[in-house]
Each structure stands twice: as structure tokens, then as C-alpha cells.
Amino acid sequence: MIDFQVTEEEEGLLSTAARFGEERLRPAERPHEEARRYPEALVHEYRELGLGTLGLPEALGGAALAAPVQVAVRSELAAADPAAPLGLDPLGPGCVALASTPAGRALIAEAREGAVAVAEGIRVEGGRARGRVGWLPRGGLHWLVLADDRGVYRVDAPRWAPVAARPCGLRACGGVEVVLEDAPAESLGGADLARQVLAECRLYAGALLLGAARDAHAAAARYTQERVAFGRPIAHHQGLAFQLADAATDLEAARLLLEAAASRGHAAEVAGAHAYVTEVALRVVERSVQALGGHGYLQDHRVEKRMRDVRSLASLWGGAVLSERDAALSVLDAPEAVGDAS
């Protein structure tokens, strides 16, 4: 039934995430970025609250939350610090899909720090992987799983190197370059599993993009109602007022599309929603910096960091380029818009 009810239990989760964000993430956002890591105590606290394993089955120590709830909770966290879920989660996205296979479950049980990367620029052939991942926004991993169009692979003996350059955003996650030179790659599943893994990555990225963009927009809305130019708050000049209204509308549309795709679970719809969210988030953070004028360009304001963080989030797991491709290639077979989809 057409329904948008947030249950009391969901409200509780969202407010836990929001409180953790406001009290523990936002105040130290810049120091964490400067240090390019999160302190151990914070990692511990975050995981104690169960925020790091929202979607994992209970047997693997997770909360087994439904996908739309995961999206909403991660958006809350990302509003306070867009890098936080990536930097604090023990396992990146994709692990819920992996946990549906025995090999994946074994991997997760064996070591609780791992990540999934999309094999852009990596060739997996004959059980060997070769190539490099330019930037993986995580360090300290025990395992790495690669996904491409044909399947999902566990790779052993990758060489990790800290990224020397300062990344555009998400700096608090640390980040490594991964080099694979004929590394052994064991298959964990075929194209179906790869689609599920990728869909999970896209919902994860979408949630972070939305939270970050929503926070930038909130900052811009507040600033523009205080800053006066030509005799009135700049938010009350129609040129800016309309842009703010459009951003609010686009963010709401993007949120609904992402949560709906999460609830329906069609991989192609998730790809489409991810492409949509990415486009909206990139536009909203840029407009939010613009709304603050020169101040928006300074590190004094959070819109400056939101714009960099969102741009980096937009590049993860193939970004909108790959999502647009997947949405397009399946559009002729997509479920009917109303009535037939369930």
C-alpha cells in the first residue's frame, strides 16, 4: 500500500544517528579531516552503537535493517560528516549481498575489516587480477573484494600504498592506492551477485550524497536568511529564493526516489536513483557554496567541505557514469511505472 509512515522504532534509530552525528562527528569534523583518520575511541563508540553494521544479518552481528532504513540512517550520519560512515564502518557496502553466499559469510566472519571495490581499470582473468585502484577511501583492510560486470572476486596479496596526494574530499577516511600484480582472485559469485553488490554500493553512496547535500542546503538556507544585501536578507531576493526552493524540492524528490528504489530492490532502478541523486547532490552543494558567496569558498564554513566530499562520493563505485549505463541498458525491460512493480 502506498505508505510513507516512519515507525517509532525507525524514529528511534534516526534520532540515535542524528545525536551521534551532532555530538561526536560534527564538532570534530575539521580535526578528523586534518588528521586523515578517526580516533580509535570514536571508531569503538560508533560500532558499539551498532551504526557500523546496519544491514548485516543478526547472525553476523548486524542489525538486519531494511535497505530504506539503512539509507535514512546513513543520510543522518553523513549530514554531520559525509566521510564518517566510510571511515568508521568495519565493512563497506556490498557485504550484505556477500553474506548471502557461504564464501562471503566465511570471509566476513574471518576478519571484520574489509571493502568492496568496483574493478575499474582492473582485469580479472584466469583467477588472476591485474591493475590498480587509484583511491580506496579506507585503510587497514584485511580483505578486498572486486566486482565487475561478470562476477565478484576475493583478491589476495594486494599491495597497499597510502595515497600520497591529498584527496579532493573524504580525507578523514585515510585512503590507499591498491596495486594488483597477478594477484590470486577467487570467484565468490557471478553476474547476479555482482549486480546486488553494486546496487548496495549505490544505495550507500546515494545515502551519503543526500545527507551531505541536505546539510549544505540547510547551511545555505540559514546563512541567506541572516545575510543582508540591498536592504533585505539575500534569501528574500527572488533569484536566490527560487534556487533555494528548487534545491529543497530536488532533495526531497531524490530522497524519495532513492528510498523507493531501496525498498523495491530492482538493480536497474537503484542505478537510476543513484544517477539522479548524484546529479542533484552535485548541483545542490555547488549552489550552496555560491549562496554564501566568498565565505562559502573558505574552510570556515561547512559548505566548502560538503562540496569536496560530495564530489569524491560521486566518483565511488563507478559513479553516475556506470549507473547511467546500467539504467539505460535495462530501460526497455524496466518494470511498469505504476501497478506492475512490487
Partner 1 sequence: MIDTTLDAGFRNVLLIMRQVGRDLLRPAGLEAEATGEPLPVDHPLFVSWNRMGLSLGLAQGRRGGGEAAPGQAPSRMARSAILAAEELAFWDQGALLALPGPGLGGPPIQLLGNEDQRRRFLEEPFRDPERPAWGAYATTESAAGSDVARIRTAARRDGDHYVLHGDKMFITNGARASWVVVFATVDASLGRAGHRAFVVERGTPGFGVGRIEKKMGLTASETAGLFLEDCRVPVENLLGGERGEEAKAGFKTAMATFDLTRPMVAAMAVGIGRSAWERARDLAREAFGAAPYAARELGVLDRLATARRRLDAARLLCWRAAWRMDHHERNTVEASMAKVHAPAAALAATSAALDVCGLAGVVDPRVERCYRDVKVFDIFEGTGEVQRIVLARRLFGYPSEG
Q: Interface residues with partner 1 (CB under 8 A)?
A: 1-7, 10, 66, 68-69, 72, 221, 224-225, 232-233, 235-236, 238, 241-242, 244-246, 248-250, 252-254, 256-257, 259-260, 262-264, 269, 272-273, 275-276, 324-325, 327-329, 331-332, 334, 337-339, 341-342
Q: Which is nearer to partner 1, 156 or 246 (CB)?
A: 246
Closest separation between CB of residue 76 and partner 1, Å? 13
- Three cell numbers, residue 272: 537510476
Q: Which is nearer to partner 1, 64 or 334 (CB)?
A: 334
d(CA 312, CA 294): 22
d(CA 21, CA 162): 27
- Three cell numbers, residue 249: 524540492
Closest separation between CB of residue 19 and partner 1, Å? 19
Q: Which is nearer to partner 1, 112 or 266 (CB)?
A: 266
Q: Which is nearer to partner 1, 2 or 165 (CB)?
A: 2
Is the backbone of residue 60 left (phi > 0), alpha (psi -120 to 50) or beta?
A: alpha
DSSP 6: P
Three-state secondary structure call for residue 152 = strand
Contact present, 284 and 217 (Cβ < 8 Å): yes
The torsion angles phi and psi of 237, rounded to 5 degrees, stand at -85, 135
Q: Which is nearer to partner 1, 28 or 221 (CB)?
A: 221
Closest separation between CB of residue 138 and partner 1, Å? 28
DSSP 91: B
Closest separation between CB of residue 70 and partner 1, Å? 10
Closest separation between CB of residue 25 and partner 1, Å? 23
Q: Which is nearer to partner 1, 151 or 272 (CB)?
A: 272
Instruction: Of 6, 38, 17, 11, give the one whose Cα is nearest residue 208.
Output: 17
Closest separation between CB of residue 22 and partner 1, Å? 21
DSSP labels, 13-37: HHHHHHHHIIIIIGGGHHHHHHHTS
